[in-house]
Structures are given as structure tokens and as C-alpha cells.
Amino acid sequence: MKNVVIAGYCRSPFTPAQKGSLAKIRPDDIAAQVVKGLAGKTGVNPEDIEDLILGCAFPEGEQGLNVARLVVFLAGLPNTIAGMTLNRFCGSSMQAIHIAVGAIQMNAGEVFICAGLESMSRIPMGGYNNMPNPALYEVFPQAYIGMGDTAENLAVKYQISRKEQEIFALASQKKAYAAQQSGCFDDEIIPVTGKYGTVDKDGCLRPDSTAEGLAGLSPAFQAAGTVTAGTSSPLTDGAAAVLVCSEDYADKHKLPKLARILSHAVSGCAPEIMGIGPVSATHKALTRANLTLADIDIVELNEAFSAQSLAVLKELAIPPEKLNIDGGAIALGHPLGATGARITGKAASLLRRENKRYALATQCIGGGQGIATILEAV
Amino acid sequence: MNIQKVGVIGAGVMGASIAAHITNAGVPVTLLDIVPKDGNNRNVIAEGAVKKLLEADPAPFMDKNNAKLITTGNIDDHLDWLKDADWVIEAVVENLQIKQALYQKLDAVCKADCLISSNTSTLPLALLTKDMPDSFKRRFMITHFFNPPRYMRLLELIPGRKTDPEIILAVNEFADIKLGKNCVVCKDTPGFIGNRIGIYWLLYGLLDAIDNKITVEQADAIMQPFGIPKTGIFGLLDLVGLDLIPPILYGMKLALPPNDAFHEVNRLPDILQTLIVGGYTGRKGKGGFYRLNKIEGKKIKESVNLQSGVYAISVKPDLKEIQEARKAGLKALFSHPHPVAQYAWRVISNTLCYAASLIPEICDDITGVDAAMRDGYNWRYGPFELLDQIGLPWFVEILKSEKRPVPAWLLNKESLYSTVSGKLEYADVSGAYRPVKRAEGVLLLSDIKQQSKPILHNPSASLWDISGGAACLEFHSKMNTLDMNIMALINQSIDKVQAEFKALVIHNNGENFSAGANLGLLMKAIHDQNWDAVADLIKQGQQTYKNLKYAPFPVVGAPSGLALGGGCEILLHCDAVQAHAELYMGLVEVGVGLIPGWGGCKEYLRRCLQLKRPGGPIPPVVKAFQTIGLASVSKSAFDAKELLYLGTNDSITMNKDRLLADAKTKALALSKDYAPPKPYLYPMPGKTAKVLLDMGIKAFHLIGKATDYDVIVSGQLTHVLSGGESDFTAPLTEDNILALELEAFLTLVKQPGTLARLDHMLKTGKPLRN
């Protein structure tokens, strides 16, 4: 089978929904600038790109129709590149990478742009016309459970205290701020320009977070609960993209090879504890790569919630020094459709930067799912 | 002269809130203040003032977006921004030199026909313009607003001897029509009208209470039978600010002639000074005569003992004897030997005598004085109207028996106002009666009621001929609550108007349009478990409102104040609404554990569904639920538009006195080629929307924002608003939605939770959060 590599990664700044600098910019415009930036940065010949696969959790409104195809046009890429929008909620753009890997390995293309976008300012979570199936709701209401409630369920199930959640969130904030200060995001951020100027810096970080401040917040989802806004990933606007191609193609065209994709997996779990999804997905992906967790040097675990991440860590023994070393979604933000491309691209970049061998990128997904990707340094 | 751009100088409480109210008229304002000594931002005072306006309660803006109409700056850098202003209002510190220096600058900057006015409450106009050229004097006057300017209707206009009459007319017209003010032209005398009499009354009440050991609660409570607001004397002093009293008294002392009766009350009692020195300057300070003291986390209302200066928990005074006597009239109250009744006599009689002694010194006639006290101090009756309420001959006789001087012009009259051939007249100082004049465009139902007999009438409602082919339906039940008498009169009116008129206006001259359905009737039926009676109540209301909507003539609602529950529902069924700007409208039924059952859900849903915006089946239902489920009440008529209670065809009148005339004009305009509305079909999403909304309520419940019973009530509301079991491919009729309303209503009235809410509301006037 062909080897498939990640040959480039970039993203827009991530900024908070409504209040942030990207709130007034259409998501398709954000994504187009990121995709264009990726093409420029990698030096790939656009004529060779087979498809733009674009993940989005709520593909309607300004990120509706088949927004992937529209982003091709907006980015000024050749019409010969096709466009596919896909939805696996938070796992959408990681799934985009998986689809590209499969296509390359079955000889259905050499080069793909795998991207994701979400404007949580401009398209509400749940969409404009959320129409749940009453019959399903009657027999299986957890199919539609709110994400905050799933985090509360995990906190109870795994006996994770509010204090532990706050310590985890504070660590994420500290790591992200340190990374920002030392310029670790400079390479990956594509400045995005809109009517009101250019945005080139992440906006969700709360470097002024303190243990006392976090302890003073009210619960965000359940009056008697332990999950707060401070221990949840914020609603975020942003887009991310990676270039996925066969290793042969990268070699032939001298593209920068960040990492080889060894294996990937998705899995399902009970929707009311959707946050535990990464556990089974990771086990499947490790098995497929013939590795154990101990072999993994770098882990990007999406931080939907502190409680959710800590529950996963109770099942997967990941040492803190390997985990989200530039911070996670609690600090950086979580633009649903874009996160998968961010953490996979980030894991690939970190393998290079940290000079390590194996990386894992994994996420939980609403509705009770997990997704995972194993990478190997090239 | 057309006032299209206004400048306000001085961004203190008055200046800033005057600026805010001018934006309520849609007119842009430049707001300037001085450059502060410290700091980099030279506009910080005016900018800060606008921020405070946005947070102030009660809200100075009728729509928060109006804040964008204010441009902020400072007088050093930006005075030239006023060069194209049509009116500049000076509201700076009460310092003659500062004001005069500012006028010099304004005279140089402002265009030749720009009106310049001062909001001074203490300085005479003659002094203000002393060294100014005649050209300035022609364009200058005092325009004295009352605080808060959005809510207090009085605007005292004090022209100088040289003020151009056209300018007076222009301000009068702008203030009347655009700002909703009742303008009273006053003489250039200290305190003008409102404060001259008002401060006298407050001080008399304060000093007499101290001298005669009347408590602050007793003093304030005994003012209410005279139509004086609940704040009475001491509550109002706290509201005004106790620290303002000494400079006002000092100013009055200097300005008034030595024989003025004001001097008798012009002294500062020790208690007032003690309070001020201690920081108890009233509501803006730590408290005043009353304070809210935090004890174990609870706010406890306390009042000060006027003799000892010690605070104690405020207690409701026991005035049962006096209340009993009051039933026989104000004379009986005054004649009661209780010390508090005698206190009332001294305070009121001296205040009325003082007011009578000031005609024509402060105002040519009594109507201006009465208007000033009504609209500047919120008295239900002006002093002379109050004299008539008491009984003028009796009042004069008592004064005589007490050997007190009686103003000569009060003698030998039965009353100061009288109605002659349906026209209201007032007595002037010469002894003659003159007609009370109404401005052009003012039509008062109270006048019509004096001049004619109702066409239809029952204990709760009447139908009046308001001429020109229009009829007016009036509610006059308690709080204008809606009952079966009103429903009956609506149905009779429909036949009558159809036969004899072109259009119908629904309006009343009460403080509130309607507080909603009469819950007492409903409670009785619930207690009797007479569910058929409840169903009948709902069906009758639904059918009556529907009859009104499809009547063959236009129906225009003309509400002011509260229009809640059933009162809101009737307006939603009108062809158009001509609303007073101060309209507090809402479907608030969930507060008493019910849902709108007289077609409120149906009509509000239609508004949401017809709103032209990208959507789909869900957003209109969500919008309707957000509004009705949260019992949203508009904070003004402009806000009612935002909330979709008012539609694009509905209009707003700023001056309440013009509301009926505007509504009549609108109704008659609609009567040309009028056709009733076509029935609307409702494409409703059905149960999927209910599931979605119920999930939202569940989340609210989990976080503690919805109570247990909120979940039950909301569950019924979501059933109605989603269209029950329907599917959006098969639209529902109006009757289908009405049937859903009825079903939900009948389900809720049988719940103990609803009964508890209704009971609590009737007893306390507040919603129960069960």
C-alpha cells in the first residue's frame, strides 16, 4: 500500500464566537484564505490536487450548500479541484484526512487538501432549523443530549472533582500562553483579512486565568454540576487545513513531509458519555498500527471539556509531558469542524519540532463517537 | 423652524438624560462637557455619561440603539460642532459666571437662528442674559426639564421679555409632539411653578412632621388620599437628594420678596443637616429618611426617627381610623381628630393657600399651575383641581374659622373648574370663567366624556362617538382588567360601529391600557372546579377577539402604559396600533402558570411566521417561545416593535394627549376601501419543534434558570407554539391554533402549580416562582 504523508498544515487564528475578531467574517472566506495559504506555503502545484475535503459540523447558512466547492472558487484555486463537504461533527476535518488516505491508497488521487471550518458566531450550534425526531427522542432522548451534560456525566462516572477539572484547564491555559509567547503558533497561523482588518493572533486564550478565578465561576450546564465555562472549550470561529499526499508524490515534488499517517479509526459509544469516545478509537488505531500507547511520544487529545479529557486519561495512561504540549482547546478554542485538522496537523508538526517518532491525535464526537489517527515521523 | 439637530452642554445627570430623551424623538444630539483636569481622554465626561445612561434604571433611552445618536465631545475642542445645531440646551453647573461665559462662546459659534436655552432651576433669566446683546436675548429662554426627563411630562418654558415668540412656538411644538412634553409657560420667578410650590410643600411637610412628632411613614402615607404618589414627602426628598435642599433654600431666600410665605418654611432642621453630614444624602447616597440596611444578607427597609435621628425598621402606619373617615370624602378626613389627619390638613391647606397666593405672579392661570404639579410632581390633581375635590366653599369656611387669610379670588365661588354645556372652564383671578383650551391635535377622552353620553355602556366598558365617523371603545373596569362585560360590549360595539360608524378605536384615559384578564373570575371557576365555565371564558374571548379582527371596519388600538396578557392580545388582533411611546406590552401569562388563551399565541405566531427573513420552520417557533415563554414585556413602544408585539403598520405617538387623535386619524385613513384581513394559514413544524424547545427548557431547568413548574407550563406552551401534532406540509388554520390554546389552558388551570401562581399574583401582585 502507498504511504500517505501530511505535507503541510496551517490554520486561521482561533477567536471567540461573537466577541472575537473573526465574528464578522464569513466562514467560507476564512476557510478560503487558509486553504490558499496552505497551497502557497507548501508549494504544491494546485493542478495536481484531486479534491478539497472540508469538514463542518453545521453545514448550513454561510457554510452551507457544498461549501467545499465554493471555497475552491473563493481561494482562486483551479476549477479542476473538486470539493466535498463532510460532517462528523467535531471529528469532521480529521475524517477528511482519513478519506484522503483511503483515496490515495486505492489510487483515487495523489494530493488532497483536507480542511475544516466553523463559524460558531454566524451559525449557531445546533443550526438554524434543528428538527429532532420526536419518535427517537421518546425512546432514546440521549441521542440529542447536550454536550455539557455529557461532561457532567463523565465527571460523575469517573469521580472527577471540580478542582481537578480546574487544574487541568489552568494547565492548558498556561501551556498555550507559553507556546504563544515563544512563537510556537507563528508558523501555523495564516492571517485572515476581512472588512474590518487583518486577524493574525489567537483570541481565546485567557492567560490571566487563576485557580481562584476558575473556582469562582458558576456551573455552566447544571446548577448542581461541576463543569464551568472555564473548564469547557469556548465557542470559537476558525478554519484549519492540511495537505495530504502520497509519500511518492511528496518526494517527487520535494514537498515538506511532516509525518506519515500510519493508521486511523472511528468508533461509537453511548451518547450520554460521548467524551470517552477517544478511548476505543485510540485502541483500534493503535492495534492497526501495531503499536501500544507506550510507544506514542506526542498526543493531541482534543479538550472538549476538562472532565471529558480527564475521563479519557483515566482510561488511557498518557503522561502529562506528552499531552497537548502547546495547550488544547480549552485555551485555544474549538471551532467544531476545524479542530480535527488542527490537532492532526499539530501532532505532525510536533513530531518534527520535538524530534519524536510516534504521535496520536484523537477526539470525542457528539452523538457518542471517537476518532483517532496515528502518525509516524518521516 | 424645524429642530433637527440639538446640542446639550453639560453631561451631568440632567444634561445627559435630556440628551437621551431627545434621541428618543429620533433627533441626533451633540453632548459636550468640560475637559477633565487629569487623564488623556478629553471627552471622558460626556462619554462616561452615555455609558451611565445605558445602565440607568429607569432607562433614559426608549431604545438602546438611540445612544448611537449622541455624539460626545468637550467644549474646548468641539464647540464648533454646534454650528449647525437648531437648538442648544445649556445644563451646566448652576454658576452664573460660568453660564454667562458659555453664552458668549455659544453666541459666536451657533448659527443666527439657533435657539439657545438654559435648564437652570434656580437662576433668573434676567440675570443670565444681563450682559448679552439683544440678538442673543431674542433667541434665548429657559427650558426647565424635570427629572427623569423621559418620564416626567412637564417642561417649564420661561421666555424673556425679548424672546422671539416664534422660537417659543417652535420649542413648544417640538417638545409637545416630538418629546411628548406638556409645556407650561411660566413667569421668570424663583423656582418657576413646579419647584416654587413643590419645595414649599416638601418643606412644610418636613418641618411640621418634626414639630408635631409625625413619623416619616405616617407623613408619606397620609399624602396618598390626595393623589400624591407613594413617595409622599420624605420618599421624594430622598429621591431628589437631601444635599440639594440647602442650596435651593439659600437661593430662594435671596431671590424671593421679604413678604413671601416661603420664608416661613425656609429653615434647615437639624435632622436634615445631620443626615447630609453623615453621607445620608438620599437614594444616591447611603440612604436618607429611608434606607435599605443589609441584615444577614437581606435588605431591610428602615426609616429615621425625626427626633432622635436613629434608624429603625420601617413599619406601615396604622391609619385605619382615618381611612375609614376618608370614605366620606376628603372633608371628613380633614375633620378627623387624629394627629396625622390634622397634619394632612395643615400641610395640604397651607400648600394650596400658598399656590393660590401665587396667581398671577408665577403663572397667568390656574390650568398652568395644575398641569405643572401633575406633570412635574406626578400629583393626580393639581392644587386647584384638588381644591375642587375637597370642596372650595368648605375649604374657605374652615380657613375663615381658623382666622387664616384667604386669597380674595377664592371667595364666593362654588368651584374653580366647571363644565358648561359640556365644555370645561376655569376661574381666573378676575372672577370670570374661561374655557380650558386644548392644543390643535389634542383629543382627550375625558373631554368627550364630559361633553356627551356613551352610545353603549356597561359597568366595565363604554362606546363613545369621537366624531368624524369614528367610535372609541373604552375600558373602565378596575385596572382596566378584561371581563365578560367587556367581551359583551365589544360584540355590541361591532354591530353598532358596522351600522353607524366607519372605524373603531380602542383607547382609555387610564394610566394603563389594561392589566390583562380579570383573574378573580378565573379563580372562582377554578375553585369551583367548574371547567366548563373556564372553557367558556376562553372560547368567548377567542371568538370576541376574532370577531373584532374580521369586523368589516378597521380597528385601531391606542394603548398607553401597561398592556398585559389579554390587554396585549386584543391589540394583537387590531388592524393597527397607534401606541403611546410609553407602552409596556407583553404576553405574560406564564407568570401565572397559564398560556395566552385568547388568540395571543395565534396572533404572535403569525407575526413571527410572517417576518421576512431567511429561516425555515423552526426559527419563528423559537422566537415565539422566547418571547411568550419568558413573559417578555416591552420597555417602550419602540421596544415593542423589536419584540414584534407591534408591527410595521403600527405607529408611535410621543405625547399621550395626542394619542387618541392620532389613532382616530389612522383608523379613518384605513377605513377607505377597507377589507378585513384574509385568514392566515400556519405552516407549523409540529412535534419536532416541541422536542427541540423542551430540550432547551430541560437545559434551563438543569442550570437552575427554570423552576419545576416552569417546565410544566413551558411544556404546554411548546405544544401550542409548535402546532401540536401537525406537519409543516399541512398548514393549520387559526381555529386549529385556538383549539390548541384552549386545550393547553384547560390542562394548566387544573394544576395546583397554576392555582398557586394565580393565588400569589392576586395577593401580592408579583409572580410566584414555583
Q: Which residues of A touch B690 (CB under 8 A)?
A: 134
- Which residues of chain B have a Cβ shorter than 8 Å from any chain A Cβ? 614-619, 685-692, 695, 699, 702-704
Pick from A106-110, B36-40, B339-343, B602-606: least confident:
B36-40
Nearest to B481 by CA among B520, B446, B534: B520
Q: What would the mean pLDDT of B201-212 be, rounded to a whole number? A: 97
For A307, left (φ over 0), alpha (ψ -120 to 50), or beta?
alpha
Percentage of chain A exceeding pLDDT 70: 100
Q: Counting one residue from A and one from B, how many pairs have CB atoms under 8 Å apart? A: 50
Q: What would the mean pLDDT of B576-603 be, rounded to a whole number? A: 98
- Its ipTM equals 0.81
Distance from C-alpha of A152 to C-alpha of A306, rounded to nearest angstrom = 10
Q: Which residues of A touch B614 (CB under 8 A)?
A: 61, 128
Predicted confidence (pLDDT) at residue B615 exceeds the cutoff of 80: no
B618 closest CB neighbour out of A129, A222, A225: A129
Q: Is residue B390 part of a domain?
A: yes
> What domains does chain A contain, in order, with CATH numbers?
4-125+235-373 (3.40.47.10)
Same domain, B297 and B411: yes
DSSP state of B633: B
Nearest to B344 by CA among B256, B229, B257, B221: B221
Same domain, B536 and B660: yes
Q: Which residues of B touch A222 (CB under 8 A)?
A: 702-703
Helix (H, G, I), strand (E, B) or coil at B739: helix
Q: Which residues of B touch A226 (CB under 8 A)?
A: none
Nearest to B474 by CA among B491, B484, B486, B483: B486
Q: What would the mean pLDDT of B611-640 be, rounded to a whole number? A: 92
The band of B169, judged by pLDDT with boundaries at 50, 70 and 90, is very high
Contact B702 A131 (CB under 8 A): no
Contact B688 A134 (CB under 8 A): yes
Task: Copy the grid coordinates of residue B606.
Answer: 403569525
Contact B703 A129 (CB under 8 A): no
Helix (H, G, I), strand (E, B) or coil at B159: strand
Distance from C-alpha of A37 to C-alpha of B211, rounded to nearest angstrom = 85
Q: Is residue B682 part of a domain?
A: no
* Mean residue pLDDT across chain A: 97
Domain containing residue B82: CATH number: 3.40.50.720
Same domain, B170 and B300: no
Predicted confidence (pLDDT) at residue B614 exceeds the cutoff of 70: no
Instruction: State the virtual CA torsion across B161, B165, B170, B171 in degrees, nearest 10.
Output: 20
Contact A223 B688 (CB under 8 A): no
A142 touches chain B (CB under 8 A): no
Residue in chain B lying closest to A148 (CA)? B699
Contact B615 A129 (CB under 8 A): yes
Half-sphere exposure of B168 (CA within 13 A, CB side): 18
pLDDT value of residue B166: 93
Contact A137 B699 (CB under 8 A): no
Q: Is residue B547 part of a domain?
A: yes
B688 closest CB neighbour out of A133, A148, A219: A133
Helix (H, G, I), strand (E, B) or coil at A375: strand
Nearest to A133 by CA among B725, B687, B699: B687
Burial label, B151 (beta-carbon count in 10 A; 0-12, 13-18, 19+): middle
Q: At what angle do helices B44-55 and B13-24 cross, to 10 degrees?
A: 70
3-state helix, strand, coil in chain A (%, to 5): 40, 25, 35
Residue B563's DSSP bridge partners are: B514, B585
Q: Which residues of A touch B619 (CB under 8 A)?
A: 128-129
* Contact of B683 with B609, CB cutoff 8 Å: yes
CB < 8 Å from B in window 179-238 of A: 219-223, 225
Positions of A annotated as catalytic residues are 90, 334, 364
Contact A220 B688 (CB under 8 A): no
Distance from C-alpha of A10 to C-alpha of B256, rounded to nearest angstrom = 80
For residue B76, which amino acid is it?
D
Q: Is residue B601 part of a domain?
A: no
Q: How far is A221 from chain B (nearest CA, A)?
A: 5
Q: How far is B367 from chain A (nearest CA, A)?
A: 54
Residue with the bigger pLDDT between B195 and B39: it is B195
Query: pTM for the complete prediction?
Result: 0.88
Residue B461's DSSP bridge partners are: B475
Same domain, B152 and B222: no
Same domain, B477 and B522: yes
* Mean residue pLDDT across chain B: 95
Looking up cell 471567540, which residue turns up? A16
Instruction: Return the ∠ at Cα A238 (arms to A235 and A239), rounded to 5°.
Output: 140
Number of domains chain B is built from: 4
Contact A222 B703 (CB under 8 A): yes
Answer with the one of B405, B420, B435 that is the final residue of a domain: B420
Q: What would the mean pLDDT of B494-519 be, rounded to a whole number? A: 96
For β-strands B461-465 and B456-457, DSSP reports them as: antiparallel
Same domain, B28 and B139: yes
A64 touches chain B (CB under 8 A): no
Q: What would the mean pLDDT of B105-115 be, rounded to a whole number? A: 95
Nearest to A112 by CA among A98, A122, A126: A98
Domain around B735? 687-764
CB < 8 Å from B in window 273-292 of A: none
Same domain, B201 and B180: no
Q: Is residue B121 part of a domain?
A: yes
Same domain, B344 and B465: no
3-state helix, strand, coil in chain B (%, to 5): 50, 15, 40
Q: Which residues of B touch A61 (CB under 8 A)?
A: 614
Domain containing residue B330: CATH number: 1.10.1040.50
Distance from C-alpha of B213 to C-alpha of B223, rounded to nearest angstrom = 16
Same domain, B409 and B531: no
Same domain, B172 and B209: no
Q: How far is A161 from chain B (nearest CA, A)?
A: 18
Pick from A347-351, B733-737, B762-766: least confident:
B762-766
Half-sphere exposure of A55 (CA within 13 A, CB side): 30
Predicted confidence (pLDDT) at residue B631 exceeds the cutoff of 90: yes
The band of B251, judged by pLDDT with boundaries at 50, 70 and 90, is confident
Q: What would the mean pLDDT of B182-208 be, rounded to a whole number? A: 96
Could you tell me which residues come within 8 angstroms of residue A193 by beta carbon, excluding any fewer than 6 positions away? Answer: A33, A199
How distant is the alpha carbon of residue B323 from its chain centre? Answer: 27
Residue in chain A lying closest to B623 (CA)? A128
No. of helices (H) and no. of strands (E), chain B: 30, 23
The band of B419, judged by pLDDT with boundaries at 50, 70 and 90, is confident
B703 closest CB neighbour out of A128, A137, A223: A223
Q: Which residues of A touch B692 (CB under 8 A)?
A: 130-132
Same domain, B475 and B576: yes
DSSP state of B679: P
A134 closest CB neighbour out of B616, B687, B703: B687
Average pLDDT by stretches of 10, chain A with 378 residues:
96 96 95 97 96 97 94 97 98 98 97 98 92 95 96 98 97 97 96 94 96 96 96 98 98 96 98 97 98 97 98 97 97 98 98 97 97 97
Nearest to B71 by CA among B97, B50, B102, B93: B50
Q: What would the mean pLDDT of B483-505 be, rounded to a whole number? A: 97
pLDDT value of residue B431: 83
Predicted confidence (pLDDT) at residue B742 exceeds the cutoff of 80: yes
Domain containing residue B659: CATH number: 3.90.226.10
Distance from C-alpha of A179 to C-alpha of A185, rounded to nearest angstrom = 7
Q: Is residue B574 part of a domain?
A: yes
Contact B616 A144 (CB under 8 A): no
Q: Is residue B439 part of a domain?
A: no
Please give the order of strands across the beta sheet that includes B298-304. Answer: B290-295, B298-304, B311-313
Contact A221 B702 (CB under 8 A): yes
Q: How many CB atoms within 10 Å of residue B380?
A: 15
Distance from C-alpha of B630 to C-alpha of B68, rounded to nearest angstrom = 28
A128 closest CB neighbour out of B615, B685, B688: B615
Q: How far is B48 from chain A (nearest CA, A)?
A: 22
Q: Phi/psi of residue A16, each to 5°?
A: -65, 140
A129 touches chain B (CB under 8 A): yes
* Contact of B267 with B207, CB cutoff 8 Å: yes
Answer with the one of B403, B420, B437 that is the final residue of a domain: B420
Answer with the one of B619, B646, B671 that is the final residue of a domain: B671
Residue with the bigger pLDDT between B430 and B62: it is B62
B618 closest CB neighbour out of A61, A130, A219: A130
Evaluate the omega torsion of the peptide bond into residue B148 and state whether it is cis, within 30 degrees of 0.
yes
Q: Is residue B435 part of a domain?
A: no
Residue A360's DSSP bridge partners are: A299, A374
pLDDT value of residue B393: 96
Give the best residue of B692, B697, B698, B705 to mutate against chain A (max A CB count within 10 A): B692
DSSP one-letter string for A285-335:
HHHHTT--GGG--EEEE--SBHHHHHHHHHHS---GGGB-TT--HHHH---
Same domain, B659 and B704: no
Q: What would the mean pLDDT of B331-350 be, rounded to a whole number? A: 96
